[in-house]
Structure 1
Amino acid sequence: MMVANKLDEENSPAGVHPLKFSLWLIIVSIFMMFAAFTSAYIVRRFEGNWLEFELPAAFLINTVIILLSSASMQLAHNAANKNNLPMVKIMLLLTIGLGIAFLFGQLNAWGELVNNKVFFGGSESNPAGSFLYVLTGVHGFHLVTGLIFLLIVLVASFRFKVHSKSMLQIHLCTIYWHFLGGLWLFLYIFLRIYN
């Protein structure tokens, strides 16, 4: 007898749900975009005329925040798998709160950069600053999309549509959120090494 598929939706003939396949295509596309950005960053940095500056302290705090949010997202996923619906809601709300805190932290980091005369574009700017704003800004945009997906899953959880027999939404959201956390960790380490 076959075990029921916890993702509760029809799979394609290849055995992968179409939405999961689409998500992985999106993740690969985002990864390739950031690989291009970081490659261009390295090439441009070694051409000279590169402004040296300290990374904002908020970046380290944000790294801790996003790792905590990844843990709370995993706890929400685990709770849904065990039909612990109150815990699902609490952990989703916590993840959303941490995601918003991360975005506010990024705005504070940008403010710190401006105070230190690190700008984006314009005649007074240096490519180092522009690259930093692009890397963190594009990541922030994707984090906003992650928050939208989280809100959709949260609403579904209040309608009792997230549980052990209906895991697709929270499963996809968890994958995407872990990806965003891993991407930020990569960017932070990259910037610490190459700044």
Structure 2
Amino acid sequence: MERELKYIDIVEQPISMHPKKFALWLFMVTVVMLFAAWTSAYIVRQAEGNWLEYDLPEIFWFTSGVVVLSSAFLQWAYYSAKKDNMTNVRIGMVITVILGAVFLVGQWYSWVALVDREVFFVGNPAGSFLYVITGMHALHLISGLIFLIIVLISSFRLKVHSQSMNTMEMATTYWHFLGGLWLYLFMFLLLNH
């Protein structure tokens, strides 16, 4: 009987994940599949001919730098939360939200630059794909900004700290994912426009 008790004591806990984190990961996999489908369709349609050749707006370089910088500030806020440094958490979150908004404004100006170059949503599939891909990324980025604002508000209510990191971890994961997704899309467009 004593041996059985010892065996039960050393049984490891199964690997588990918070249900909200699991849902986030499933959502991100879905987003990857959507953008993989769009970029694959882009390549297939481009090979059929009748493809408008154009230069990408230079502001894409700027917005790419902004998204990388925003991820760096969010990571700093995350590490600060693990150390219960709430001042740095709030500063990092505010800067990340501002940089996210700057990214969105930059994306808007990239569309203005495309119109100036006579690349439109309708007319040629090249323009249509570009607007859909960048527009859908912007839509997901807006959802990421809303998530970041929720975490920022939670930090002022002292709900984000070393003992309560779930929402901060999820927001950080999602934002880094969106940043990585943009860098992939930008490189894809650079190589295939």
State the SS of the aligned residue for 1:49.
coil
TM-score by length of 1: 0.91
Larger RCO: 1 or 2 (CA < 8 Å, sep 6+): 1
Following the alignment from structure 2 to structure 1, what is the Cα–Cα distance between the partners of residues 128 and 16?
43
Q: Of residues 145, 148, 154 in structure 2, which corresponds to 1:147? A: 145
5 Å-filtered alignment, 1:19-98, equals 19-98=20-99
Following the alignment from structure 2 to structure 1, what is the Cα–Cα distance between the partners of residues 74 and 132?
26
> Superposition RMSD on alpha carbons, in Å?
1.0
Following the alignment from structure 1 to structure 2, what is the Cα–Cα distance between the partners of residues 61 and 160?
34
What are structure 1's unaligned runs of at least 5 residues?
A: 1-11
TM-score by length of 2: 0.92
Deviations 1:29-68 (A, max 9, x none): 0000000000000000010000000000010100000000
Q: Which amino acid aligns with 2:51?
A: W
Aligned to 2:164: 166
Q: Percent identity?
A: 54
Following the alignment from structure 1 to structure 2, what is the Cα–Cα distance between the partners of residues 127 and 108?
21
Following the alignment from structure 1 to structure 2, what is the Cα–Cα distance between the partners of residues 153 and 185?
24
Report how many aligned residue pairs link the two structures. 181
- 1:143 deviation in Å? 0.2
Larger Rg: 2
What are structure 2's unaligned runs of at least 5 residues?
A: 1-12
Q: Which has the higher helix share?
A: 2
- 1:15 deviation in Å? 1.0
Following the alignment from structure 1 to structure 2, what is the Cα–Cα distance between the partners of residues 161 and 52?
51
Question: Hey, which bits of structure 1, 4+ residues long, moved more than 3 A?
Answer: none
Q: Of residues 172, 175, 187 in structure 1, which corresponds to 2:173? A: 175
